[in-house]
A and B are shown apart, each in its own frame.
Chain A
Amino acid sequence: MSLFFAYLSVVAALMSALVALATNWRARLQRLAEAILRRWPHAHSVAARIFSETHYREFHRYSLFVLLGFSGLGALLAGLGTLMNGAVLTQILPFGLPWLSWHIRIDPLAGFFLCVLGLPLMAVSLYGPGYVREFEHGKHPLSALGLFTGLFVAGMELVLLADDAFLFMIAWELMSVASYFLVAYQHDHAANRRAAFLYLLMAEIGAIAIILAYGVLAGFGGGLTFDALRGASLNPLWASIAFVLGLIGFGMKAGLVPIHAWLPEAHPVAPSHISALMSGVMLKIAVYGFIRFTFDLLNQILWQWGVLVLVIGAASAVLGILYALQQQNLKRLLAYSSVENIGIVFVALGLSLIFLSSGQAHLGTLGLVAALLHALNHALFKSLLFLGAGAILHQTHEQSLENMGGLIHRMPKLAAVFLVGTLSIAALPPLNGFVSEWLIFQTALQGGLIESGVLRSLIPTASAVLALTSALAATCFVKVYGVAFLGLPRSHHIAHARDVQHRGMLGGPLLLAACCGLIGVLPTPLINGLGTLTHQLTGFVLPSVSALGWLWLTPVAPKVASYAPTLVLLGMAMVGGLCYYLLYRRTRLEPRRAEPWDCGFGGLTSAMQYTSGAFSMPIRRIFQPVFEIRESIEAQQAGPANIRIVALRYHFHVLDRAWLALYEPAGRLVLRLARGIGRLQTGNIRTYLGYSFFTLIFLLWVIS
């Protein structure tokens, strides 16, 4: 049954891609329908309406996204089914290489990530029809967008279903290349083309690393199916080589520091619903790849790997959020925040690896559960925030926080939904982001059980970095919400923005917000549901999670820590409601509106508010060594001897150090090598003949 739903979702995604091709086939389809349906007048009239000039566009647009929605629903059902019964289903499909058919397998791990894929995809399919409407009249064809979206989704689903390295790589490449075209969709800006090229380049380098990692395993295991890879017996050195290659490959896709610099370039330039899928879902596919490779395929775990993952994860988390704080472009900020959240997931995975390698399997399981839960949570709230940012972009054509402000008055419904996402990502109780971070802290606090003193002191330090990260994340998203939605509008078009009209454009984010709230308030059933998954990977289930009942979350033991988010919510509602009743209902004193305090000068304008850059200035100053800041003031002078300054322009850029330290030198190195190789090609026929001659002599010498 699960397999059926999984196939259904892949087929629906491919159908959606096919339907996209039919964007301009209205006349042809109409003739075809008339020919086929001539016998049935009722169906004929329906078809005539659908394929009429006026209705075809809308019908086509909706059918694209309805199919995607079915794909998401199928993935969700397949995933839930597998998670619940814990069954592992395999099948061999007659596609692929002559000696290697496609191996398909759905197990609880794949099932969980199918759920992670399904929920945001359903939200996107609600949101999409309203959002892409403006592309219909644009210069870029909707068919390209729909085609590559379908292929992209199908690729992601096939990655999850793959049970051999060959199919895995095919699906992985399908996902990467299709998303390259989506990043390059609005290709009339040079910056977008550059970002897309960079993305493709990094994706391919990552893919090479993954192929090599599988190659190491296949070399020892003697086959490309995952079963053969699992059976490979490696010595620790080769296992470490495979692990590091896997970490580079999957980490490249997931956006780990220091190879993250492509991510904030590529994710924001795609259309917003695609950005949501890329940041919300595709990064999780990379996490899935890493978990599948490390926890499942490699049959040993060394503690050094855990330390490496922990350190890289912590660095990604804190640097990601520090850079996010300095962004003024909303979508770019969200992309940097994805780096942070992936860092948090990898911190939890690192803890899990350390605990598993030192024999504390139940704590390793707890770390894994925390990582998975945070991956799910991030998929939900990051998709929500990207869709929200897309809705603002759609209504106002504005991405820069510096021009926003006061949108809560213009777009009240969107503001309410966006607030849920903001509070979730800022890890505040009683929402879902808090639950997963709390679990990670609980895992880290059990570090005292480890023998090695170095590890015991490293783990709390990593958790302190995590604490810094979550506090900075709260700062960052308070800034986003406060600057974009609150206060006075900072530009004319924001002041006249209209709320989202299309119902689906609110419904999609609302669905995600509801999931955020539900997981935040009732995490225990979900974590219990992950039992089949952890049993498959680590051989353990968390026995005491619901030791006090389904209301309480007790990850280690009831005496060690407990958290009852439902009661927290109830308590807050009771206290707040009681205060409201006592203070307002009883006194009946209606508040009065007045001008805010202006120091007696009068005339407050929106320019006097704190801007996004100003809000994060103290953080920028405190963490100055982290950033490469370029600031300049350009004065336009006039009058005799340029004595009068007419206009001032302030330029401000925060550059990513990883870009300057890693990417640019690498680029320069490639150019220099290319130039060196280019010297071989003199263009002189005698030189080339000389090359052939010496090659021949060399080969003859080799043979003899």
Chain B
Amino acid sequence: MAWLLAILETLLFVGAAPLLAGWIKRVKCRLQNRKAPSVFQPYRDLLKLYRKQPIAPHPASWIFRAAPYIVFASTVLAAAIVPLVAVDLPTSRIADIIVLVGFFALGRTFQVLAGMDIGTAFGGMGSSREMTISSLAEPAMLMAVFTLTMSAHTTNLSQAMNYVLDTGLVLRPSFVFALGGLILVAIAETGRIPVDNPATHLELTMIHEAMILEYSGRWLALIEWASQIKLMLYGVLIANIFFPWGIAQDFSLTTLGYGMAMIALKLAVLALVLALSEALFAKMRIFRVQEYLGFAYLLSVLGMLSHIILETAR
């Protein structure tokens, strides 16, 4: 029963990710005084790509063809272990938050390898930049995560959420700092403005788009879908770790329904914030990203120190 619920939740996660992307696009269009496409447009795009014949460039090897599947599978697995509607699902025990970071790294590695597999300047450029940014973002993210896990005494996501639920609404300075750090990292890792621009195809500023420039058809669909899931993953992480209220702690239908409504609400609000920030800020130069991520790291370290100094007085 619990396993079935876990699988259903994962399917819901994977299925709802394009909707979130559509919603963000819609809000952003409104903010920029443009006519907005339907929120279901990402589904239509995916369907269209699914029907098209994929094209592989001449130098590509099997890595190029396998990468989309590995990227997608690792992202779906990451989605399986992050509690969306209910905590204490059996899947959340398979892997903890450090393994989650590992899943992201696995997907990214294959994406980057695929970018280098095509043997063009764009692929290498995107790959080099992606690895640079992620190698700075990963420590910041782990530091933010460590701050949480040191208060909750667990790296298991369900247990951490339970801990926050049990202690109730307490304003912890360490959580505020960690939240700030995690949001900055999430923006960098999902390739949003101001670090990367998902809508750009201006050759010299692309990062993520440069790596996947040669993809088409079902491969592109998988990669696009995976990045939509990844965006939603970060949203759910932020929403459910820092504001877990509303998540179902037992498996009755009413609590599950309530949990679903609450997470939809939380994600909608987060998407509003993201769209607003994307409308307000411009993309920054690539060699300013390290300052941005350094700031994220600093916030996380401050969170850690304030946890050690203020919250665990002995």
List residues of chain A with CB under 8 Å of any chain B CB. 405-406, 408-409, 415, 423, 426-429, 434, 438, 441-442, 444-445, 447-448, 451, 453, 456-457, 460-461, 463-465, 467-468, 470-472, 474-475, 478-479, 481-483, 486-488, 548, 552, 558-564, 567-568, 571-573, 575-576, 579-580, 583-584, 587, 589-599, 604, 606, 608-610, 614-619, 621-622
Residues of B in contact, count (CB < 8 Å): 87
Contact A460 B304 (CB under 8 A): yes
Query: Quick check: B143 and A427 within 8 Å, CB to CB?
Result: no
Quick check: B112 and A460 within 8 Å, CB to CB?
no
- Closest-CB distance, A400 to chain B (whole angstroms): 17
In the complex, the answer to whether B58 meets A572 with C-beta atoms within 8 Å is no
Are B138 and A442 interface neighbours, CB within 8 A?
Answer: no
- The docked-state distance in angstroms from the alpha carbon of A447 to that of B305 is 13
Q: Are the C-beta atoms of B128 and A561 separated by less than 8 Å?
A: no
Whether A451 pairs with B314 at a CB distance below 8 angstroms is yes
10 extra A-B contacts, CB within 8 A, seeds A560-B153, A608-B121: A427-B105, A445-B149, A467-B143, A474-B135, A487-B123, A571-B94, A597-B213, A604-B119, A610-B127, A614-B124
Known contacts A464-B301, A568-B95; A428/B102 CB under 8 A: yes
Per a CB cutoff under 8 Å, which of A434, A444, A561, A593 touches B102?
A434
27 A-B residue pairings within 8 Å (CB atoms): A426-B109, A429-B99, A438-B98, A445-B150, A456-B312, A461-B304, A467-B139, A474-B108, A478-B112, A479-B131, A482-B112, A482-B127, A487-B123, A559-B154, A561-B98, A562-B156, A568-B77, A579-B69, A583-B222, A587-B51, A589-B52, A591-B65, A593-B57, A593-B58, A595-B57, A596-B214, A615-B124
Q: Which of A475, A552, A559 has the most CB of B within 10 A?
A: A475
- If A561-B156, A576-B70 touch, whether A599 touches B203 (CB-CB below 8 Å) is yes
The answer, among B112, B129, B213, for a CB contact under 8 Å with A618, is B129
Interchain CB contact (< 8 A) of A579 among B72, B108, B116: B72
Q: Does B103 contact A (CB under 8 A)?
A: yes
Q: Is B31 an interface residue (CB 8 A)?
A: no
A-chain residues with CB within 8 Å of residue B93 when the two chains form the complex:
548, 552, 558, 562, 564
Known contacts A471-B134, A622-B132; is-contact A486 B117 (Cβ 8 Å):
yes
**When A475-B135, A576-B73 are in contact, do A445 and B124 touch as well, CB less than 8 Å?**
no
Q: How far apart are the CA atoms of A447 and B149 in the complex, in Å? A: 11
Which residue on A lies nearest to B72, using beta carbons?
Answer: A579
CB <8 Å contact, B58 and A427: no
**CB atoms of B113 and A428 under 8 A apart:** no
Q: Report the bound CA distance from A409 to B290 in whole Å.
A: 36
Q: In the complex the two chains form, is B54's CB within 8 Å of A589's CB?
A: yes
Contacts of A488 in B (CB 8 A): 59, 119
Name the CB-closest residue of A to B14: A575
Report the minimal beta-carbon distance from A427 to chain B, rounded to whole angstroms.
7
Q: Which residues of the partner chain B approach A453 to less than 8 Å between Cβ atoms?
A: 308-309
User: Closest approach, in angstroms, between the C-beta of A350 and any C-beta of chain B?
Assistant: 17
Provide the bound-state CA to CA distance between A594 and B120, in Å: 13
Bound Cα distance A239, B55 (Å): 67
Q: Looking across the interface, which residue of chain B has its beta carbon closest to that of A604?
A: B120
Interface membership of B281, Cβ < 8 A: no
